[in-house]
């Protein structure tokens, strides 16, 4: 899929290698294992994983 | 190994002799799937699921002696316990979407619409399964091209300087 993305967007080999480093399967698998743990209580959330960073998208914030 | 027809949902009970053989291999810390010999990554099949999960994992690492890593060995033992009825089945739903569906990216609109639907399904399932042990979450792997400066950092925590 990364190769297809690089062809469509004209990305360089360096940027493709950066993408591959930031979207490794083991980095996502860590969060998947945590969410599937019998002791987890998190539900209904949207998480983003970029490299070793985990972000919660679906956390409402009152702006005013 | 387990009967595919009875155990595809993760709740079927395997035959006694198969269950006993698998538990013994777990106790020894050695797991050799069908056709797998020697060292190297172990490819778990689609019927080998994490404890209570409704998805299959990718691969587990073994050392040169064919022993699984402790974390993988624990996950496999929990899976066998769930199959054997020795541990409760804890349902988990983990959906995968994209940042194109969460806040938009330079990708085709139909792709973004489909990925947004995954998030909507997660919201509905969360409401439908409220009050139960079922957990539903969504993961969106990032490629890190969009600007993430608007993301707030938790108090007391510093973001990874390598990112963004």
The complex scores an ipTM of 0.77
pTM: 0.55
Identify whether A61 is part of a domain.
no
**pLDDT category of residue B2 using cuts at 50, 70 and 90:** very low
Two tokens, residue B20 = 């006993």
pLDDT at residue A38 in the model: 78
- B-chain residues near A38 (CB < 8 A): 51-52, 78, 88, 90
Residue B69 has pLDDT above 50, yes or no: yes
Per-residue pLDDT, B119: 92
Res. B16: pLDDT tops 50: no
How far apart CA A38 and CA B158 sit, in angstroms, is 29
* Structural contact between residues A8 and B128, judged by C-beta atoms closer than 8 angstroms: no
Which residues have C-beta within 8 Å of that of residue A22, sequence separation ≥ 6?
A50, A51, B142, B143, B144
Report pLDDT for B54: 29
Q: What is the pLDDT of residue B146?
A: 47
Substitution target from A14, A23, A48 for chain B, most B beta carbons within 10 A: A48
Q: Is residue A28 part of a domain?
A: yes
More confident residue, B108 or B20: B108
* pLDDT surpasses 50 at B147: no
Give yes or no for residue B121 having a pLDDT over 80.
yes
What local confidence, expressed as pLDDT, does residue B81 receive? Answer: 73
Indicate if the pLDDT at residue B160 is higher than 80. no
In a domain, A63, yes or no: no
pLDDT at B80: 73
Q: Which residues contact B160 (CB under 8 A, 6 or more apart)?
A: A51, A52, A53
In DSSP terms, B96 is beta-bridged to B139
Q: Give domain status of residue A44, yes or no.
A: yes
> Could you tell me which residue, A2 or B76, shows the higher pLDDT?
B76
Does the distance separating the beta carbons of B119 and A47 come in below 8 Å?
no
Residue A8 within a domain: yes
Farthest CA pair distance, chain B: 57
Mean pLDDT on B36-59: 40
CB contact under 8 A, A44 and B78: no
| Number of domains observed in the structure of chain A | 1
Its domain, for residue A17, covers: 2-56
């Amino acid at each position: 899929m990364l190769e297809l993305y690089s062809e469509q967007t004209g990305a360089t080999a360096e940027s493709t290698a950066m993408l591959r480093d930031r979207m490794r399967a083991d980095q996502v698998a860590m969060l998947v294992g945590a969410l599937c743990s019998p002791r987890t209580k998190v539900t209904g959330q949207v998480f983003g994983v970029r490299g070793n960073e985990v972000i919660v998208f679906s956390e409402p914030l009152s702006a005013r | 190994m387990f009967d595919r027809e009875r155990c595809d949902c993760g709740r079927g009970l395997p035959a006694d002799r198969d269950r006993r053989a698998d538990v013994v291999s777990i106790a020894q810390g050695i797991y050799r799937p069908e056709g797998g010999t020697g060292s190297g990554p172990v490819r778990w099949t689609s019927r080998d699921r994490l404890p209570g999960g409704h998805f299959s994992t990718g691969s587990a690492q073994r050392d040169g002696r064919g022993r699984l890593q402790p974390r993988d060995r624990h996950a496999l033992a929990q899976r066998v316990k769930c199959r054997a009825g020795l541990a409760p089945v804890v349902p988990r739903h983990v959906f995968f979407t994209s940042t194109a569906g969460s806040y938009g990216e330079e990708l085709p609109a139909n792709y973004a619409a489909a990925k947004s639907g995954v998030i909507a399904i997660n919201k509905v399932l969360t409401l439908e399964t409220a009050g139960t042990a079922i957990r539903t979450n969504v993961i969106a792997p990032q490629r890190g091209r969009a600007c993430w400066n608007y993301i707030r950092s938790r108090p007391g925590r510093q973001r990874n300087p390598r990112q963004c």
